[in-house]
Amino acid sequence: MMTKERILFISAENPFPQDSGGKLRTGNILNLLKTKYEVDLLTYRNKRGEGLQEYARGFNVHEVERTVSYRQAMLRSLYKWRNCSYLSHADKDMQGRIVTLSREHRYAQVFISHSLLGSCIDIVRRELPEAVIITDAHNFESSLSAQLVKKKQGLARLYFRLNAVWTRQDELKLMDKTSLLLATSEQDGLAFRALSAKNSHKVHVIPNFIRISDYILKPDSGKEKWIILPGNMNYFPNIHAASYFSREIYPLIKAEFPDIKWYIVGRDVHPEVAALAKKDPSIVITGYVDSVADYVRKAGVVVVPLLEGSGTRLKILEAWALKTPVVSTAIGAEGLLCEHGSNILIADSPAAFAGSVLQLLRDREHGRQLADNAYRTLLANYEAESVKEKLLSLV
């Protein structure tokens, strides 16, 4: 049997269990790469104390401990002039292991899962000057950073304005140093190409995707009178989305359906989100759950009331896989092949958003039609087999 070539895969976010959009993308790409390569996965130890081995069959797993907290990363960014996310400071913890693995295996390819890990490229380049480095940009981070500035006041606003500048500088350096850059949507691809015309040829779009085998359809036992907002509830676009929905949209829905339940399902619940349930007993905050799919499958409607963001939303793809209809803002559905009234409902004003949710709660047949069309869109464009050939031709 022919021996597979080795590839080093660096991910600052531990991708297992796959309980967020970023982890889903990272884990799904890993599963495609292992069909071609022997994969050495370098990542942080799971913070819940679980090892990767039960999830990461087929990978050689190398875990390190995180020593940089978010507060320390913010301080470090001031003298490094670097994005403040602790992902951007993974070089502090990973440098030694990157050097050791690179010297031991002399990789020809290195895959870096997140543009925020640009600082790790310098370490790889010193050890492996000829290696092909592939960077997977989950988002166009400088755009996200600029959006966050608008939500801040006083000194915090000044700090995050600087952070947006540093993030743009990080992305410019990244475009120079990486061999290939993968973007999740055509919009993000265009943004990266515009950032650096001389490096625009490096940018390729690999959309977010899922493995349909992970979403076994069960006989329809009937949807509950639930609406659901899934996602990592410590991620600022999701925090703002939950607050906006609670303030502007949910009261309009409750006026028509007083017995409605709104489930917020996701890990790392921010205090601002947790406070919503204290004010309204019809809002159920689950925190981390073993299977978000079980909640999405039962829900009458998945809501995506995002006002900021970049990339594409895996929460929508999961809803499509589970045949639950989706109502989203335009920015929430950005980058996906979707059409209002065909496979999704798009609404940007509170009244229109509430009206769309109410329409689906009242008309189950319309919801089924939307969900069936969305399922077909998913299989044709966002299922692992539909992107496998393109990804493996690049990497």
For each successive 10 residues of the chain (395 residues), what is the average pLDDT?
88 84 90 95 78 69 90 90 90 96 97 94 95 95 84 84 91 95 94 95 95 78 84 88 96 95 91 92 90 90 89 87 96 92 96 97 94 96 93 95
pLDDT at position 53: 59
State the Cα–Cα distance between residues 94 and 97, nearest whole angstrom: 5
Peptide bond into 17 cis (omega under 30): yes
Q: What angle do CA 84, 86, 88 make, to 5 degrees?
A: 70
- pLDDT score recorded for residue 148: 79
**Sheet arrangement for strand 226-230:** 283-287, 261-265, 226-230, 301-304, 326-328, 345-346
Distance separating the N- and C-terminal Cα atoms of the chain: 22
pLDDT of residue 160: 85
Rounded distance between C-alpha atoms, residue 91 and residue 86, angstroms: 10
Give the Cα separation of 269 and 231 in Å (integer): 10
> 304 has which bridge partners?
328
Residue 220 pLDDT: 60
Selection from 205, 244, 74, 209 nearest residue 145 by Cα: 74
Strands 132-137 vs 109-113: parallel, antiparallel or unpaired? parallel
Non-local (6+) Cβ contacts of 66 within 8 A are 44, 45, 47, 86, 93
Indicate if the alpha-carbon torsion angle 295, 296, 302, 306 is positive or negative. Answer: positive
Q: Are strands 326-328 and 301-304 parallel, antiparallel or unpaired?
A: parallel
Rounded CA separation 395/343 (Å): 32
User: Exposed/middle/buried for 248, CB within 10 Å: 0-12, 13-18, 19+?
Assistant: middle
Kindly write down the DSSP assignment for every residue of 261-298, as one continuous string.
EEEEE-SS--HHHHHHHHH-TTEEEEES-S-HHHHHHH
Given a contact cutoff of 8 angstroms between Cβ atoms, the answer to whether 38 and 58 are in contact is no
Helices assigned H by DSSP within the chain: 21-33, 70-80, 91-105, 118-127, 141-149, 154-177, 186-195, 236-244, 250-256, 271-279, 292-298, 314-321, 350-362, 364-381, 384-394
Contact 62, 98 (CB under 8 A): no
Strands of 38-44's sheet in order across: 59-64, 38-44, 6-11, 109-113, 132-137, 180-183, 203-205
Nearest-angstrom CA–CA distance, 198 and 289: 45
Q: Contact 122/135 with Cβ under 8 angstroms? A: no
pLDDT of residue 49: 53
Q: What is the Cα–Cα distance from 84 to 284, expressed in whole angstroms? A: 32
In DSSP notation, 75-105 reads: HHHHHHT---SGGGGTHHHHHHHHHHHHHHH
With the C-alpha atoms ordered 307, 229, 323, 315, is the resulting torsion angle positive or negative?
positive
Q: Report pLDDT for 218.
A: 66
Structure tokens at 192: 């990266």
Sign of the CA dihedral with 391 first, then 139, 295, and 299 last: negative
Residue 153: its pLDDT value, please? 81
Query: pLDDT tens across 349-376, in order?
Result: 999 999 999 999 999 999 999 999 999 9
